[in-house]
Amino acid sequence: MKKRDKVITIVVLVLFVAFLAYRYVTIDQSEEQEVLHVGDEAILHEVMVENHYDVPGKTRHVKYIVFVDVDGKIQDIKSEDLNDPTHQGKMDEFSAGLITMVRGEKLSELEEIDMVGTASLTTASFNSALTELKAAL
């Protein structure tokens, strides 16, 4: 390997490691903050509520986190399964489907949503949490 190729390889590796470090540090910091800054203009406020619902053989405890902008419009939603990390993939699918339905709508004006995919119980749980989410604005 030529000296020039070694230098290029080292530079690429250093840049890659720097990118990964920046990415993970940014994610960790944003998850701990209630107010998130996106660029210089938008500020997202985090509204969170915990809820539960019964499935055959157990009760699922979930957290719904809704990110709204300064106008109260929904920009993102995260759902977490608090007692079963193996179910988190399904919760992520629910969040992705839900945000496509409600992005840009005002949380304060949101009514019951239609079923998200095949997640009837999770959808019902989210709908029952809407009053608390609105109150937390």
pLDDT tens-digit readout, 90-129: 999 999 999 999 999 999 999 999 999 999 999 999 999 9
**Rg (Cα) of the chain, in Å, rounded?**
20
In the numeric block, the tokens 């995919």 are attached to 117
For the entire predicted model, the pTM comes to 0.69
Beta-carbon contacts of residue 117 (< 8 Å; ≥ 6 apart): 93, 94, 97
Range 34-135 classified under CATH 3.30.390: yes
Taking residue 127's Cβ as centre, other Cβ atoms within 10 Å add up to 16
Whether 80 has a pLDDT exceeding 90, the answer reads yes
Taking residue 91's Cβ as centre, other Cβ atoms within 10 Å add up to 22
In the numeric block, the tokens 């993102």 are attached to 76
Whether 28 has a pLDDT exceeding 60, the answer reads no
Contact 46, 35 (CB under 8 A): yes
Q: DSSP H helical segments within the chain, as ranges?
A: 3-32, 88-102, 120-135
The strand pairing partners of 53, in sequence order, are 60
Across 33-53, average pLDDT: 71
Q: What percent of the chain has pLDDT over 90?
A: 58
Angstrom distance (rounded) from CA 68 to CA 72:
5
Whether 33 has a pLDDT exceeding 60, the answer reads no
The ranges assigned to domains in the chain are 1-32, 34-135
